[in-house]
Structures are given as structure tokens and as C-alpha cells.
Structure 1
Amino acid sequence: MKWDLEHRRAVITGAANGIAKATALLLAGEGTRLVLVDLDADKLAATADECRTAGAEQVETFAADLTDGEKVHELGDLVRDSMDGLDLLIPAAGIIGRDPIDQMPDEHWDRIMNINVRAVFQLNRELLPQMADGGSVVLFSSDAGRRGSPGKAAYATAKAAIVGLARSIVGEVGRRQIRVNIVAPGFIDTRMNAQTFAEKGDVLADETPLGRNGRPEEVASVIAFLCSDASSFVNGTIVPINGGHYMAG
């Protein structure tokens, strides 16, 4: 399927792995111009090479820890200098953690919040002024952010916070025809979910009406839709991508 994203300028974080990598490859096949960001420089370079082979018009890489505000500023400079602006922002980088609330150290809470919320806020603050009118932002919540997740209170709280952040930005940039939407993946076969899948992947698949867990490419295709003009009146919404595993509003 073609999403008519040729020549669009996109920033994707977390691009070395999982859903972000699948999204980068899908957009590359559309001829999108990409700035790919990840902490792992070697895997990031490998993703960039795959994207060039897939047909990306341009690929730039930026290996950095985006919890460092100075690195976010440097990324902004790279986007300005190499892309002369931005059309699509997809901050997909994130981490999960497992600690019961009564055993959770402050450091665990702070790390989850810094990566999953603070860095996303800083990216929007830095890059939205560069975004062209009519652009699209896709942020990442999760099923955990919608219903909670015992043992993952920090992660669930962070993903719920993303919804408030996204819907607040909607009211600030809407008159520029910039749309901000949220994807909420369920159990997707990624490195982040490796421990969960090892422990109970078959059970989760059995609990899902479709009888299986999801693939990164299935989330990437929804992101591409939200980036495209096909979703031109979709704004401020949460799109669950979970095979029907969790269907409450």
C-alpha cells in the first residue's frame, strides 16, 4: 500500500529496533526523508543502511541519549540544517520496567519518566516550531497506559501521561493543520516484550481474539496511515493496536 509520503521529512526515535525500525523501513519504501535516532550507534547505522536500500530519499542518523537536553538541541540543529524543517515526528523510543510499587526505587521511576515522557516533551518543544503546516505527530501510549499494569506502575503512568501531553499539543498546533495522534500497541513481538513473551507469550496469544500476538509491521502501517493525508481529519485520538486483547474505552 502506498501512503503518498514521498519527500516528507520525518524524525523517528528508537529506530534501531522494534516498531520504530519497522516504521522507518516502511517510510523508507515510500521515499520519505529520514532522521533516525537511537542510543545504539551500530544498530542505528545498520537500520539506516536498510532504509537506503528500501528507497529512502535521504537518511541522516543521530546517535544520542535524548534524556540529555543538549542532545535534543543538537538534534534540532541537525533537522534544521539537513532537512530545512520537518513534516513527521515519531518519538518511538521507550523502555519498560518491572517493580512492585512497594519495592520501586526512585531511580527506577525517574528513568522511566525521563525516557518515556520527559524526552518526548522536549522533542516536541524543540521540533514543533520547525514543523511545516499540515504535519503529523504520532506519540506512543500502550494498553498499560489505558488500564494500568501491576508491577509496571512507572511504565503505565508514563504511557498515560503521553495521552495528556498529546491532547494538550493538539489544542496548540491545530490551527496550523498539524495533527497529533497516539498509538497504543498491545503485545507486540519486540525486544521490549521479550521477557513477557518468554514467560507467557502463548497465554497472551490465546487470550487475544485473533489468536496471536502482534508484529512490529502491523503497528508501523497504522503509524503510516496517521502520517498520511488519508487520516487528514483524525486528530487527538488513541488507536489501540492489540488484536482485540483489550477493548475498553
Structure 2
Amino acid sequence: MSRSVLVTGGNRGIGLAIARSLADAGDKVAITYRSGEPPKELSDRGVLAVKCDITDQEQVEQAYKEVEDVHGRVEVVVANAAINRDQLLLRMTEEDFTAVLETNLTGTFRVVKRASRGMLRARNGRIVLISSVVGLSGSAGQVNYAAAKSGLVGFARSVARELASRNITCNVVAPGFVDTDMTRALGEERRAEIVGQVPLGRYAQPEEVAAVVRFLASEDAAYITGAVIPVDGGLGMGH
């Protein structure tokens, strides 16, 4: 069955892998992106790209209208868009703290709230939020990012309780360190230090995160809601 799917921040990294995976499964996929241009491969796959800054409510509303005009009501939403502004607590500005929460947590609220309207009417839907192992275990220099990613867990579990009676599930995927442009920018010494902490001894591939999202969005996961699924090579076990 071809469903209307929206992936925020789907133009690179984990979001891009998710968009590819769901499009390859036969879904009608749309992505949002804030800057730059999405890869041509997405249009070749039939993926609709909509420019949208999720910190702006009007842009979120307009993005949904564009997606609905082409693909119909959004049946699956994957809230992946996020930013980071890492700094030690005493050096972190209030603007750096609030900017990360505004995108990673409040932006997710806007996206999910808008999607839930149509899902409630249809009495069906899938919501998947992309958190992080950092939101479960913490990380020095990332109090803003960790606070936002941790907040997604409480947000998801509250949404799961509110919407479960309408056959709408809401789950969280918590990746560890993933081989993306962001982690490749780290120095070799830092990359080796990170891998040394991971029981499986390697970075995740974006496709491994996408596979879990694809499962949670499927009918096979119809009885899973309010769950936090780690894809972290064992890094955060016990949290």
C-alpha cells in the first residue's frame, strides 16, 4: 500500500536514508529541507522536496498543504530535522540553548501536531521521532542537544497515550554515532575515541537507522507504541 509519508530534514544523513528506504518500499515520500538543494536522486525516486524551516509555524502549515496537494493526507510522519550547537555549559549562550530546543523539540511539536489532525480523522497513523543516545545517557558539551532529545521521549510517550485509541502509534528511535557528514568532520583521534566506547566497535550506517524507522512505520509494528528503540551498537545500554 502506498502511503503519504513526510520526513523532516530528509535531504541528508539519516533523514535522506529514511526517505530512500520508504520510497523504495513504495510509499509516496515528501521531505522538508531548510537550506541548500536536496539531492537529485530524490526527485528521481519520485520524492517531493519542500523547503521548510520547522521553527516557523506558517512554513510548517504551508509545507503540509503542498504535500497534501500532491500526495494526500500525511499518514506517516518522521520527525528527524535537528541542529546542534555544542558548547560547555558555562560557555553556552542562552541563544544557543534555546535555538536547539526550538528546532529539535518545539519544531517536532509543530510537525507532529499538524500531522495528527488528519490521522485522528482517519483513525490511523504512524509517528516516529528521531532522538539520540545522547538524550538517554547525556554528553558533556551538549546540554542543549541532550535536553531536546531527551524531551522527545516524554513527548512521544504522552502522544502515544493520547492517540492510541485512534490507532495512531508514536515511537522513538535513538541512534548512537552514525557515519554521516557531521561525524566525518570529527578528527580521526576523536572518531577513534568514540568507536572505542561502542561495544560493536563501529559507527552505524544511516541505512541501519532507516531500517528501524521503516519497521516502526509498518503494519508489522501496529502493536508497538511509546517505545524507545536504540540503534547505537550497545553504547547506551541500560538507559
| TM-score with structure 2 setting the length | 0.94
Which of residues 54, 59, 63 is equivalent to 1:75? Answer: 63
Q: State the Cα distance separating 1:80 from its structure 2 match.
A: 2.9
| 1:171 shift after superposition | 1.5
> Which residues in structure 2 correspond to 1:4-83 (within 5 Å)?
6-42=1-37, 44=38, 46-52=40-46, 59-83=47-71
Does the residue aligned with 1:230 lie in a helix, a strand or coil? Answer: helix
Matched to 2:225, the amino acid is N
CA distance in structure 2 between the partners assigned to 1:70 and 1:18 by the alignment = 26
Range that drifts further, 83-92 or 203-212: 203-212
Aligned to 2:104: 116
Tell me which residue corresponds to 1:150. Answer: 140
**2:168 is matched with which residue?**
178
Evaluate the alpha carbon distance shift between residue 45 and residue 194 of structure 1 in structure 2; reply closer, same or farther with a 3 A threshold: closer
Instruction: Describe the SS at the equivalent of 1:86.
Output: coil
Alpha-carbon deviation of 1:49?
2.2
Please say if residues 91 and 120 of structure 1, whose CA atoms lie closer than 8 Å, have aligned partners that are also in contact: yes
Unmatched 5+ stretches in structure 1 = 1-5, 53-58
Q: Which 4+ stretches in 1 moved above 6 angstroms?
A: none
SS state at 1:118 partner: helix
Q: Which amino acid aligns with 2:90?
A: D
Q: Tell me, yes or no, if the aligned pair for 1:91 and 1:139 is still in contact at 8 Å.
A: yes
Contact 1:185-1:242 within 8 A present in 2 as well: yes
**What's the counterpart of residue 3 of structure 1?**
none
User: Given residue 66 of structure 1, which amino acid in structure 2 is its aligned partner?
Assistant: I
| Matched length | 237
**What is the CA–CA distance in structure 2 between the aligned matches of 1:248 and 1:109, rounded to whole Å?**
27
State the match for 1:100 in structure 2. Answer: 88
Residue 203 of structure 2 aligns to a residue whose secondary structure is: coil
Of the structure 1 ranges 143-152 and 78-87, higher mean CA displacement relative to structure 2 is found in 78-87
Greater CA drift, 200-209 or 179-188: 200-209
Identity %: 32
Between 72-81 and 226-235, the greater mean CA deviation after superposition: 72-81
- Distance between the aligned counterparts of 1:108 and 1:148, measured in 2? 17
* 1:219–1:197 Cα change, 3 Å: farther
The alpha-carbon distance between structure 1 residues 147 and 23, as it changes in their structure 2 partners (threshold 3 A), is same
Q: CA deviation at 1:200?
A: 1.5
| Superposed displacement of residue 68, structure 1 | 1.0
Post-superposition offset of 1:197: 5.8
